Amino acid sequence: MNTKKTYSVIGIGIGPFNLGLAALLEPVNELSSLFFDQSEEFNWHPGLMLDSATLQTPFLCDCVSMADPTSHFSFLNFMKQTGRLYKFFIRENFFVLRKEYNAYCKWVAGQLLNCRFSHQVKSVVFEDGLYQVSVLNLKTKETKTYFAKKLALGTGTRPDVPDFVKKADFQNVIHTSAYLNRKAEMLESRSVTIIGSGQSAAEVFYDLLPQTKHGLQLNWFTRPDRFFPMEYSKLSLELTSPEYIDYFYNMPAAKRKQMLTMQKSLFKGISFDLINQIYDLMYEMTVGDEEISVQLRPNIQLDHINAEADDTYTLELTHVAQQKKFYSTADFVVLGTGYTYHEPEFLQGIKERISRSENGLYAVNRNYTIDHNASEIFVQNAESHTHSFISTDLGMGAYRNSIIINQLAEREVYKVEERIAYQEFGLEESPVLFNDLDTVIL
């Protein structure tokens, strides 16, 4: 007789997506769940928890609302329970401050009995029809094995830096994710160079910009031909839809890869408001012909960094349009070079159960599974190559979690929208044909 406590699903990693899954599972009585994260508590991008920084998605993109607007884990309920709902209403801004979103997620996690922090998953194996998850309690140093029918991988992404930075010991070359940890040192330095074209690079630049009045030389280099805003028009937002996922998913892999490279302005740009704030601040600072020690350069590629004997850095750069090389120096270098998915080592124990494409990436099924049975191992934010750029979008987290929960329960627990867009992204199975005179043949 099997006396093991067996969970319906064990989640590994508690970022916003798996936190949302845990919250949406809480009222589903027939499903038991447990979620582990090695961090001491929920903390989302603490190195960029700037006072004025906001999410790039509206408040409805919380953990639960797009799946269940009545959930007591909603952001609006958090505001009500913390006495800030009327303040939020009067503010008239759908875009939540990042630090308030972080506080909201901590509030959700604090109410969930199925979330355990300071627990590090060491290994996963599959035996006797169950996933056996070995977990180290980082506080007690005890290791315990838990059993589950299914897994939900939400281990998230890691800061991405160039290989020549990974291979060197550059003390003052950091990723934007560590910015606030080193900001005090930067304010005492002579020069800071920021590399990158996205929101994080822009936020760091804006935060340091006033310091140029006090002697700081601030440089911002970006490879694209402009400092471009993230596209946020209503018809573009329809790409965050079930129909677009279906359309993208059914494309050949090579075409999907090509499409992602063409869509950077949809997910890698800077918020329109922040671009304007940066310009306006520079304008205000230069009233009366005052100069600021700022260098803004698009079309610039970082090729290499050399550490000098005086603790400065020489950056080897190329102007990509003119194909001219040049050099710049800095005391600190801040890399806004984004994040990439890092496959966790514990998956080695179940590698034979994971389906992969020819290039080694997960062969993610439409229902967000990666196992050969298409029913056991779900992934969060690891499927951009199959489900489009919106895999990283907070607004689609509840949609994905609804699909996962319905699969786990084998019934419709949460209603999943199938069609929300006015657009048609592809042709029907029986396409309209055209003759030589470009007249439609019906």
What's the CATH number where 278 sits? 3.50.50.60
Counting residues of the chain whose pLDDT is more than 90, the rounded percentage is 87
Instruction: Specify the residue for token string 């800071």.
Output: 192
Counting residues of the chain whose pLDDT is more than 70, the rounded percentage is 96
Residue 112 and residue 142 share a domain? yes
Q: What is the pLDDT of residue 19?
A: 98
Q: What confidence tier does 220 reach under pLDDT thresholds 50, 70, 90?
A: very high
**Residue 334 gets which letter from DSSP?**
E
pTM of the model: 0.92
Residue 296 and residue 171 share a domain? yes
Q: What is the pLDDT of residue 268?
A: 84
Q: What confidence tier does 85 reach under pLDDT thresholds 50, 70, 90?
A: very high
Q: Is the pLDDT of residue 238 over 80?
A: yes
Q: Going by C-beta distance under 8 Å and a sequence separation of 6 or more, which residues neighbour residue 320?
A: 223, 299, 300, 301
Q: Is residue 21 part of a domain?
A: yes
Q: Is residue 245 part of a domain?
A: no
Q: Is residue 97 part of a domain?
A: yes
Q: Is the pLDDT of residue 431 over 60?
A: no
Q: What is the pLDDT of residues 90-136, one digit of tens each?
A: 999 999 999 999 999 999 999 999 999 999 999 999 999 999 999 99
Q: Is the pLDDT of residue 14 over 80?
A: yes
Q: How many domains does the chain have?
A: 2
CA distance 14 to 36: 7
Q: What confidence tier does 28 reach under pLDDT thresholds 50, 70, 90?
A: very high
Among 335, 357, 381, residue at a domain's last position: 335
SS3 (DSSP) at 208 = helix
Q: Which phi and psi angles does 267 have, rounded to 5°?
A: -145, -5
Q: What is the pLDDT of residue 2?
A: 53
Q: What is the pLDDT of residue 169?
A: 87
Q: Is residue 254 part of a domain?
A: no
Q: Is residue 330 part of a domain?
A: yes
Q: Is residue 250 part of a domain?
A: no
Q: The tokens of 308 are what? A: 């000098």
Q: Is the pLDDT of residue 382 over 90?
A: yes
Q: Is the pLDDT of residue 185 over 60?
A: yes
Tell me whether strands 157-159 and 324-330 are parallel, antiparallel or unpaired.
Answer: unpaired
Q: What is the pLDDT of residue 290?
A: 85
Of 371, 379, 386, the closest CA to residue 400 belongs to: 379
Tell me whether strands 332-335 and 173-175 are parallel, antiparallel or unpaired.
Answer: parallel
Residue 278 and residue 140 share a domain? no
Residue 213 and residue 148 share a domain? no
Q: Going by C-beta distance under 8 Å and a sequence separation of 6 or more, which residues neighbour residue 44?
A: 15, 16, 98, 101, 102, 105
Q: What is the pLDDT of residues 409-420, one digit of tens each?
A: 999 999 999 999
Residue 42 belongs to what H/E stretch? none
Among 279, 300, 335, residue at a domain's last position: 335
Residue 298 and residue 188 share a domain? yes
Residue 175 and residue 38 share a domain? no
Q: What is the pLDDT of residues 249-266, one digit of tens each?
A: 999 999 999 999 888 878
Q: What is the pLDDT of residue 1?
A: 43
The secondary structure of 135-165 as a DSSP string is EEETTT--EEEEEEEEEEE---EEE---HHH
Q: What is the pLDDT of residues 280-293, one digit of tens each?
A: 999 999 998 788 99
User: Which ranges constitute the DSSP H helices of 330-427?
Assistant: 384-387, 397-409
Residue 52 and residue 16 share a domain? yes
Q: The tokens of 53 are what? A: 């920084």
Determine the longest span between alpha carbons in the chain, in angstroms: 84
Query: How many whole angstroms from its chain centre is CA 364?
Result: 18
Q: What confidence tier does 438 reach under pLDDT thresholds 50, 70, 90?
A: very low
Q: What is the pLDDT of residue 345?
A: 94
Q: What is the dihedral of CA 301, 306, 312, 314, to 10 degrees?
A: -40
Among 335, 353, 368, residue at a domain's last position: 335
Q: Is the pLDDT of residue 433 over 90?
A: no
Q: What is the pLDDT of residue 179?
A: 97
Of 91, 93, 59, the closest CA to residue 78 belongs to: 59
Residue 216 and residue 133 share a domain? no
Residue 313 and residue 183 share a domain? yes
Q: Is residue 418 part of a domain?
A: no
Instruction: Specify the residue for token string 């049975």.
Output: 373
Q: What is the pLDDT of residue 3?
A: 67
Residue 118 and residue 25 share a domain? yes
Q: What confidence tier does 56 reach under pLDDT thresholds 50, 70, 90?
A: confident
Alpha carbon distance, N-terminus to C-terminus of the chain: 65
Residue 56 and residue 138 share a domain? yes
pLDDT, mean over the chain: 93
**Residue 270 gets which letter from DSSP?**
B
CA distance 243 to 395: 15
Alpha carbon separation from 316 to 145, 294, 303, 313 (Å, rounded): 50, 19, 5, 10
Domain range for 316: 160-230+268-335
The region of weakest confidence among 36-45, 105-114, 163-172, 431-440 is 431-440
Q: Is residue 53 part of a domain?
A: yes
Q: What is the pLDDT of residue 402?
A: 98
Residue 315 and residue 179 share a domain? yes
Q: What confidence tier does 435 reach under pLDDT thresholds 50, 70, 90?
A: very low
